[in-house]
A and B are shown apart, each in its own frame.
Chain A
Amino acid sequence: MATFSDEIRTIKSSRMRRKEAKAGLIFVLPWVIGFLVFTLYPIASSLYYSLCNYKVIKDPVFIGLDNYIALFRDKTFIDSCKNTLYMIVFGVPITTFVSIWIAIMLNYKKIKGTSWMRVVFFIPTLVPTVVACLLWIWVMQPDSGVLNTVLGYFGIRGPGWLASPIWSKPAFILMMIWTCGNAIIIYLAGLQDISDSLYDAAAIDGAGFFRASISISIPLLRPTMLYNVTMLIIGVFQWFAEPYIMTSGGPNNSTMFYSLYLYQNAFTFFKMGYASAQAWIMLIISMVIIFILFKVFRFGETEMG
């Protein structure tokens, strides 16, 4: 399509084009410098350190794959992987389920006055992480906490939550759900792109809210889901502040998550090489997961044409 500006572009002398390219490079120069110094150099040295015995006080000594081999024999590392996997297998789907259904209900045209509810669901994401941690320690107090008090009203004796090796991870899942406001907002934006005529047609066919949501909203939300699920999984791998502040990995390493153990190795035990190997395993795992997710969700798209 030849527009007026395209014609101008063709007339433009190569001298002007060169000038533009030069300007472009000057504008992106800060990023280039930052990328080299704060990203590329660290990535390269992290890979090198992961192959070294590096305890900070002495220079790194190349030891090949020994850190990686040692990691897979490290019980705490295996535990941290299991715990992180637990959050991905249970926490991510539950949070996704809750946030999608809240968004669908908020979007339901026959429900009025939901705008204040949207604000309520969003408020927890505004609470600074550290404050949220302090807050949830209290909410989940076994005896005097809000959660067990409310459960008590229904005759349920609440567990010890963060103090119990079995219930500590579900406790973190509750907290994960509590901060899903971002995802709800993104799902709502996705739902707004779905045309009303689809729902009208479904209503004529006699489909109720539930039926219409299952067969229209959820399939059409697939790209949005891909984004949110990817973000959640990356989030779980990078989960640090919550377990660090609330449980320090306990009880019995039941909340020793991947990033927390990585941090401990690096900044408590100063095993920089060992921790770098952990970081690289994490990079590879998260890339594989993202790749699989894209495959799965893309595969679903084709059947819809």
Chain B
Amino acid sequence: MNIKSIRKYKVKVVINRAVIYLILLIFVLSFLLPFLFLLTGSFKTTSELFSVPFRWLPKTWTLDNYRQVFTKIPFWRYLRNTLIIVFFSIVSAVLSNSVIAYGFSRLRWPGRDKVFMIVIATMILPYQVTLIPLYLMFTKMHWIGTFLPLIVPGFFGNAAFIFLMRQFLVGIPKEYTESARIDGASEFQIFLRIMIPISKPVLATIAIMAFMKAWNDFLGPLVFLGDDSLYTLSLAASMLRSKLEPNWELLLALGVLMVMPVLILFFFMQKYFIQGITMGGIKG
């Protein structure tokens, strides 16, 4: 390459860089704007929220919308309901999937890998296929109108989480467990004393994904809960929206309150969020 072409190449790089920055910035802004609107909107008064033309920032900042969330709707009950489901989802996900994945990775039994293919296959099974029979089954068991349909299945494993955990366990060298096994430790002891401690990072990822799934879930509560007193935050928000004249300022404030815990968690545990996605996880 002669000097002239090198210079030409350098100019090209500078222009490229400027164009790419510009495009990225436009995208960044458009991804951010709806979110910023949610934040500022939640501090606007009713009349400002509906004002035409649209105002970017509230003229008078008000906390009244947030006050309404705590006084006009049973916010704490909805939060408690959500947290009960979230709590059991996390506990069940960590407990069951680590046990199951151990059986699919560190222990040999005939037909194991064929059975594991079935686990994988259930990942692409549309939930609609099982939803109706499950609803009918839970109705017969008198579980509709309780948290049980949203909690109990979690204790029997989740294909995506089993897959995630198994990927990790397969990578642990045999030597880790072989000596303990020769010393006569039982499989359960090996699992509890050796495997669980090294698996902490994956278990954290699974816990976070289970949290996100339960915190975001809409269809499950909609189909299975039925009773107003059991509503989760997501379900309550959608019900308040479907009213004839929804109280929008309350809904925006409620929205901010529902996003904040997730954002805070994300900023502290970013690594595990990203891990969950790149290791083949799917948003619930």
A149 interface residue (CB < 8 Å to B)? yes
A220 interface residue (CB < 8 Å to B)? no
A156 interface residue (CB < 8 Å to B)? no
Tally the A-B contacts, defined by beta carbons under 8 Å. Answer: 267
Residues in B with CB closer than 8 Å to A31 are 96, 100, 103, 119, 156-157, 162
Stretch at the interface among A76-84, A86-94, A107-115: A107-115
B266 interface residue (CB < 8 Å to A)? yes
Please, what's the 1-or-0 string for B17-33, where 1 marks a CB less than 8 Å from any CB in chain A? 10011011001100111
In the bound complex, CA of A42 to CA of B280 (Å): 26
- Known contacts A27-B100, A38-B153: does B128 contact A279 (CB below 8 Å)? yes
Q: Is the CB of B31 within 8 A of A178?
A: yes
> Chain A nearest CB: distance from B82 CB in Å?
10
> Chain B nearest CB: distance from A173 CB in Å?
14
Q: Give A1-40 interface residues, CB cut-off 8 Å to B.
A: 3-5, 8, 17, 20-31, 33-35, 37-39
Q: Is the CB of A144 within 8 A of B51?
A: yes
A226 interface residue (CB < 8 Å to B)? no
- Known contacts A28-B100, A130-B237, A209-B16: does B129 contact A280 (CB below 8 Å)? yes
> Which of A49, A121, A209, A231 is in CB contact (< 8 Å) with B20?
A209
A145 interface residue (CB < 8 Å to B)? yes
Residues in B with CB closer than 8 Å to A286 are 124, 126
Q: How would you classify the secondary structure of chain B's contact residues: helix, strand, loop or mixed?
A: helix
Q: Is the CB of B35 within 8 A of A23?
A: no
Chain A interface size range: 35 or more
Residues in A with CB closer than 8 Å to B28 are 117, 120-121
B175 interface residue (CB < 8 Å to A)? yes
Residues in A with CB closer than 8 Å to B12 are 208
B residues sitting closer than 8 Å to A (CB atoms) are 1, 5, 9, 12-13, 16-17, 20-21, 23-24, 27-28, 31-35, 37-38, 41, 49-54, 96, 99-100, 102-104, 107-110, 112, 115, 118-119, 122, 124-137, 153, 155-157, 162, 174-175, 178, 182, 186-188, 191, 212, 215-216, 218-219, 223, 233-235, 237-238, 241-242, 248, 251-252, 255, 258-259, 262-263, 266, 270, 273-274, 277-278, 280, 282-283
5 closest cross-chain pairs (CB), A and B: A34-B156, A27-B103, A24-B107, A42-B133, A28-B103
